[in-house]
Structure 1
């Protein structure tokens, strides 16, 4: 049976210029031939196995294996080896998959005895050039993708071949023309493969036949070095990484090639976006996306940013081509411009027959179609009858010049029902204390919005996507924690 258009595109690109550079990893280039040989050696196994568990790390071996499963028409079941050994072992045991792919250390440590495994190397050393493209039945689910797990345990969302193909090849993948030559320029991929952001970035590079630098994680020095050497015109940064760059010693000269920064996966304040633009002269194009949508559904374009940012600052932009967004009340009735309600989405990635998908995000859409995310309905904190939106408190805290990041959650309270509590990471140790932060918040928030407790920690726990791990934050405030912190009650 013929390959799905996504698999066909992968195969075409891998064969375009086999000896050219494909992936730079730890300063060394890996050719398209080596990636292709590894992918094809796995394709036939993937087709025969169906669902294949993959211990995903940002390394060339995992990229090749991922592509191989898609070539074989199989399903990648994403497994995050960074969640902790016990949780990962339990996850693998519960999945009961016919095959687990990973590196030797991960397989030995995490996979229960008796489970079939396939070992891959991080840098594709010693991969046999064997196998062929798969001949599995017409594929349906391409990836069972882990959500970010910021509000609770991560769950898996099924992403179809059609959805991913539309994300990286356009609305009609079946007739999309394959590249005839490699793209000029080198992209930088620092989003984790175990998250939709990393999958999208890698598949986008493959679909466009663009070589890329693969970073295991965002680290300022390695990222800045890649930017200086390869001079990309656009880069993608999650808010935490963008703020790291913003408050670093990097200069305009270091980032002079960059014409725009795209930023998603978590809220970014308009103040931070403007501060970045003021320092580096680079516009920040925020976006709105979710794993369930197969990627982004709204965002800023450069043209919109030039024309509308000053009037629409703080918006996540307008609906992407093919996507539809609306705001509804609790009964599902569509609300007019600038009315706040629940956001519903028809993602373009799901095709013209997509149904409306209700989110838990509170939003408003103005008459020009610009969207503002104002909070999450499922995270609203009701403090003695007053509604507190955690994102508003977080943005206020992150406005303090000493604060590198913040996370705000609700904690049960016998008298008030629930109170907001905040975890704060400072840019420099002892550059601010709790009393200083509370005094700062008094000028920016209502009294009931000020956290009942602020913990200053060495590092906020984060998910692979860079978002604060709110489940871990709640656990911290609910009992014992290994996080070193200064804890005081706000007065």
Structure 2
């Protein structure tokens, strides 16, 4: 973290809702949390649970925990109460900080107490002990996490989210790789001057957390949205005039659908797009409308963020030839493609993507991803699906990405998702849900079936096509597999 001891307390650092939080207020919040942690004996390596809402208090606690080499154990405030409580019970953090609103949610205080933790309300610079239903048992063991900076959950698109420990070493490596990719040099500006960073996605997801980390490390001011809205984001861009911003693909489409005037985004040169796959057609439509380069980024929670992506220079040189790629490896990152037996494949061959970088942790070896990919002679990575979501229909293998690609060519389909539905005879069958393109009527099921038959093998054609107002998504804006299957009813004929 940047050394900020000489910063004036009244310096505005975080814009939230209708005002600015000053540096002195962030310091007070951190000091109040620190006092409680010291009293409880939670020092270096201690795990500190935080319900990580998009609020200035979350940024203050993040800075305090990381600057003291403790471990931030994050909880997702966007979860339904029962899932949030289950996460608290699984994690068993010795102390949990949350806003007063979160403490009123059904079962939350009981879950913290049952997990053996203590609770504190966190509102502004005020830290208030919470009267839990019962106290932890005397001598309750504490599980510490030395060297771990953040325990963060994955997006959980194919099942229960996994909790990933990200070490200080991983995060430092990721910050260095990202700086090298963006060619960011040292800045001699005074703290909290210059350009303002934008945080528009949930901090509990790696993308939002990354945005907060970058402004803390660079000592930049931050404008924060509690929830993404097109109007809120447009207002931020219009007022602060950044050259680069970031949005997930669903938000990019929302900006296009809202027909935001190009003059409102005139300051932007590039837009980073990550968190979920981005169709080249959507990128082209945005770039044609606004003249803003879409720089796709590929990464994962397990890798502490991005490991590959497009630079502005690559985009200007290669976009027409390499559209559909997620870019090239960041500095310090190695990528390769391997076969089923783990042997490296030749350039251009399709297989499972592996990564080697300090960002991924471990002992410096190759880490296997869940993505199928190919890497061309110029180092550009093309994702072709996931290795762990293959649908097996009566012995035939189906890649959902292949079906989605054909469906999304239909002029009335804005976005589609495909999942495996259990079938008594065939084991699994593919089913599809889709959002209708703006201004279009949902196509009839037989129309879509005929469309798919022209571009797919017979066994790849979905058995059902369901129009939906919005595909179910997790916090990362990826389609939620469990939520997608819940739209269908396996017991129906």
What corresponds to 2:31 in structure 1? 40
Distance 1:161 1:275 in 2: 39
**Normalised TM-score (structure 2):** 0.86
Alignment of 1:215 onto 2:225? yes
Residue 433 of structure 2 corresponds to: 423
Distance 2:31 2:408 in 1: 47
SS at match of 2:264: coil
1:52 aligns to 2:48 (yes or no): yes
Counterpart residue number, 2:468: 457
Per the normalisation by structure 1, the TM-score is 0.87
Within the candidate set 45, 70, 74, 1:74 is matched to 70
Shift of 1:169: 4.9
| Native 8 Å contact 1:171 1:351 kept in 2 | no
Tell me the equivalent position of 1:116: 118
2:161, 2:153 → 1: CA distance?
A: 6
Asked whether the 8 Å contact 1:297–1:348 carries over to 2, the reply is no
CA distance in 2, matches of 1:46, 1:335: 51
After TM superposition, give the deviation of residue 194 of structure 1 in Å.
0.9
Q: Which residue of 2 aligns with 1:166?
A: 173
Q: Which residue of 2 aligns with 1:320?
A: 330
Q: How does 1:256-271 map to 2 (within 5 A)?
A: 256-271=266-281
After TM superposition, list the pairs within 5 Å mapping 1:78-227 onto structure 2: 78-109=74-105, 110-112=108-110, 114=113, 115-121=117-123, 124=124, 126=126, 139-169=146-176, 181-182=190-191, 183-227=193-237
The aligned residue for residue 65 of structure 1 is 61
- Paired residues of 2:392 and 2:427 also in contact (CA < 8 A): yes
| CA–CA distance in structure 1, aligned partners of residues 397 and 490 of structure 2 | 25
Partner of 1:6: none
How far is the alpha carbon of 1:271 from its aligned partner?
Answer: 1.3
* Conservation of the 8 A alpha-carbon contact between 1:73 and 1:138: no
1:468 alignment partner in structure 2: 479
Secondary structure, aligned partner of 1:24: strand
Give the secondary structure class of the aligned counterpart of 1:387. strand
Deviation, structure 1 residue 306: 0.8
Give the aligned partner of residue 373 of structure 2: 363
Alpha-carbon distance change, 171 to 391 in structure 1, aligned in 2, over 3 angstroms: closer
- CA gap 1:171/1:410 in 2 versus in 1, 3 angstroms: closer
1: CA distance, partners of 2:121 / 2:422: 46
Cα distance per residue 1:364-416 (max 9 Å; x no partner): 00111110010001111223444322123223333444444322111122333
In structure 2, do the counterparts of structure 1 residues 458 and 429 end up closer, same or farther at CA, with 3 Å as the change threshold?
Answer: farther
Alignment-derived partner of residue 352 in structure 2:
342
SS of equivalent residue, structure 2 residue 265: coil
Moved more, 98-107 or 240-249: 240-249
Q: Contact (CA 8 Å) 1:13, 1:179: kept in 2 or not?
A: no
Post-superposition shift, 1:141? 0.5
Aligned CA distance change for structure 1 residues 85 and 351 (closer, same or farther; 3 Å): closer
Kindly report the root-mean-square deviation, in angstroms, between the aligned alpha carbons of the 2 structures: 2.8
CA gap of 1:54–1:446, structure 2 versus 1, over 3 A, is same
Matches of 2:408 and 2:81, distance apart in 1: 33
Q: For residue 21 of structure 1, what is the aligned residue in structure 2? A: 12
Q: 1:85 to 1:179 in 2, by over 3 A?
A: farther
Q: How does 1:325-404 map to 2 (within 5 A)?
A: 325-350=335-360, 354-404=364-414
CA offset at residue 437 of structure 1? 3.6
* Per-residue deviation, 1:158: 0.4
- Name whichever of 196-205 and 44-53 sits farther off: 44-53
Distance 1:180 1:41, change over 3 A: farther
Taking structure 1 as reference, are residues 171 and 402 closer, same or farther at Cα in structure 2, changes over 3 Å only?
Answer: closer
